[in-house]
């Protein structure tokens, strides 16, 4: 990547010449946790069994890119969630989960410009499906937590597309969605904050880091460090 330039305070660009046009893209893909929403869901679920600090430490290391095997790190974290009740997750959704500033505005602008929207998360369908519905997102993929008698078992359920949404699956999902829409990855925008977002960001024509880890900021075309997601509209005009 070429050197970065501060476009406006808290908004950095590199390797592109703004302004760009939303209408030149066909798809915008988002990570969920700490990107579209304000929390890391796995950490908040762990809080219900008194293990938030332990799980959050693993999450933070994974997002910084310090854990090479995301799948194994997620299995370790999910195993610690055994015994959490569905009612606990309902409370997390109702009381702790909030959309990040500008999420609704950016998605509305993208949809108005004719883009399709994708949520692809290393988190869980319990939250991802609800967030996608709230925002009117067209496509969503996330991991499924296994339940028995209204409680988490500490395992995930394999899906027809694979076992866990990791960085490679995020990239493959973005490219498969582009193929479904009849466009190339170059016509996609990818927005994320952690190391497991880097593969899909590399496959997209425009990579956007939102309040991201340093390893992600340095590889993005646009880095939003202050303000909401809708600040992307200062660079990619409706």
Q: H or E stretch including 222?
A: strand 222-224
Note if 31 is an active site residue. Answer: yes
* Spacing of C-alpha 158 from chain mean position: 20
Strand 151-157 to 116-124 pairing: unpaired
Using the structure block, give the residue that is written with the tokens 């202050």. 226
Q: How far apart are CA 231 and CA 51, in angstroms?
A: 35
Stretch (H or E) spanning 122: strand 116-124
User: Is 33 one of the catalytic residues?
Assistant: yes
For residue 184, whether the previous peptide bond is cis, meaning omega lies within 30 degrees of 0, is no
Per annotation, catalytic residue among 31, 88, 166, 172: 31
Q: What are the residues whose beta carbons fall under 8 Å from the beta carbon of 137, sequence distance 6 or more?
A: 30, 107, 117, 118, 119, 131
- Catalytic position from the list 24, 33, 69, 193: 33
Is-contact 131 142, C-beta < 8 A?
A: no
Closest to 150 measured CA to CA, from 80, 88, 76, 74? 88
* Bridge partners, 118 (sequence order): 29, 139
DSSP state of 102: T
Residue closest to 143 by CA, chosen among 88, 196, 216: 196
What residues are labeled active site?
Answer: 31, 33
């Amino acid at each position: 990547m070429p050197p970065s330039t501060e476009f406006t305070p808290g908004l950095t660009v590199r390797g592109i010449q703004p302004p760009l046009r939303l209408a030149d893209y066909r798809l915008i893909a988002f990570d969920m946790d700490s990107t579209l929403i304000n929390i890391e869901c796995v950490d908040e679920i762990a809080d219900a069994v008194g293990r938030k600090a332990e799980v959050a430490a693993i999450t933070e290391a994974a997002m910084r890119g310090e854990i090479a095997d995301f799948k194994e790190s997620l299995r370790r974290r999910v195993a610690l969630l055994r015994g959490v009740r569905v009612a606990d997750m309902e409370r997390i959704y109702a009381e702790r989960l909030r959309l990040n500033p500008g999420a609704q505005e950016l998605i509305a602008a993208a949809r108005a410009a004719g883009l399709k929207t994708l949520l692809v998360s290393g988190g869980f369908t319990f939250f991802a499906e609800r967030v996608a519905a709230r925002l009117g997102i067209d496509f969503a993929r996330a991991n499924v937590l296994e339940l028995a008698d209204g409680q988490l078992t500490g395992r995930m359920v394999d899906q027809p597309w694979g076992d866990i949404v990791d960085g490679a699956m995020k990239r493959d999902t973005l490219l498969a969605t582009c193929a479904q829409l009849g466009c190339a990855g170059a016509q996609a925008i990818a927005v994320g904050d952690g190391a497991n977002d880097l593969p899909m960001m590399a496959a997209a024509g425009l990579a956007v880091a939102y309040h991201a880890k340093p390893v992600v900021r340095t590889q993005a075309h646009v880095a939003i460090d202050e303000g909401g997601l809708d600040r992307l509209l200062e660079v990619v005009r409706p």
